[in-house]
Amino acid sequence: MSTEIVSKKIYFVIWASLMVLLFVTWGVAQFDLGLFNSLAALTIAIIKMLLVILYFMHVRYSSRLTWVFAGAGFLWLMIMITLTLSDYTTRGFVRPYNRVLSNWQDKNWNHLPGDKPMEPRPLP
């Protein structure tokens, strides 16, 4: 458990930084960055999150064990996101055996730009 006392100045600096980042989020949203929209928003969000965890939640001044537990939270979040995306990003990998369904997917599913339409699989 931390015994270090964080000065008020640091709290104000962090708070001001969070406010600045809030405006940066808003500012970035004014421009269409295409694929980088999400990347920019997520990067700013991660910086804000780290500031809160490290300073407001005192993790920076805490023991290594606290670091391990805080890190575990993120590791588990990554497990959840990665394995969920292993479904979402691979839904077109295996084509349905049924030709009607297969054709329907070709017609209706969203494809990323540059995706080539899949060849229908020959019926047995």
Partner 1 sequence: MNETEAVPVPAPAEVEENYLSAGHTVRSWLLTTDHKRIGLLYLFSIIFFFAIAAVAAAIMRLELLTPPGDLVLSATYNKLFTLHGVIMVWFFLIPSIPNVLGNFLIPMMIGARDVAFPKLNLLSWYLFMAGGLLALHAIIVGGVDTGWTFYTPYSSRYSNTHTVEMALGIFLSGFASILTGLNFIITVHEMRAPGLTWFRLPLFIWSHYATSLILVLATPVLAITLLLMMLERIWGLGIFDPRLGGDPVLFQHLFWFYSHPAVYIMILPSMAVVSELIPCFSRKRIFGYKFIAFASMAIAVLGFVVWGHHMFVSGQSVYAGMIFSILSFIVAIPSGIKVFNWTATLHRGSISFETPMLYALGFIGLFSLGGLTGLFLAALAVDVHVTDTYFVVAHFHYIMVGGTVLAFMGGIHFWWPKITGRMYPEKLGQLAALVTFIGFNLTFFPQFVMGYLGMPRRYHAYAPEFQIYHVLSTAGATILGVGYLLPVIYLLWSLRHGKKAGANPWGATGLEWQTPSPPPVHNFAEVPRVTGEPYDYSPQEEEKKAEDDHA
Q: Which residues bind partner 1 (CB under 8 A)?
A: 65, 72-73, 76, 79-80, 83-84, 86-88, 90-94
Alpha-carbon distance of 14 to 11, in angstroms, equals 5
CB closer to partner 1 out of 73 and 120: 73
Q: Closest approach of Cβ 71 to partner 1, in Å?
A: 12
Alpha-carbon distance of 96 to 108, in angstroms, equals 14
Q: Closest approach of Cβ 73 to partner 1, in Å?
A: 7
CB closer to partner 1 out of 5 and 65: 65
Contacts of 92 (CB under 8 A, 6+ apart): 105, 109, 118
Q: Closest approach of Cβ 74 to partner 1, in Å?
A: 11
Q: Closest approach of Cβ 101 to partner 1, in Å?
A: 12
DSSP assignment letter at 35: T
Nearest Cα neighbor of 105 from 113, 116, 95 is 95
Query: Helix-strand-coil percent breakdown of the chain, rounded to 5?
Result: 65, 0, 35
CB closer to partner 1 out of 50 and 79: 79
CB closer to partner 1 out of 20 and 80: 80
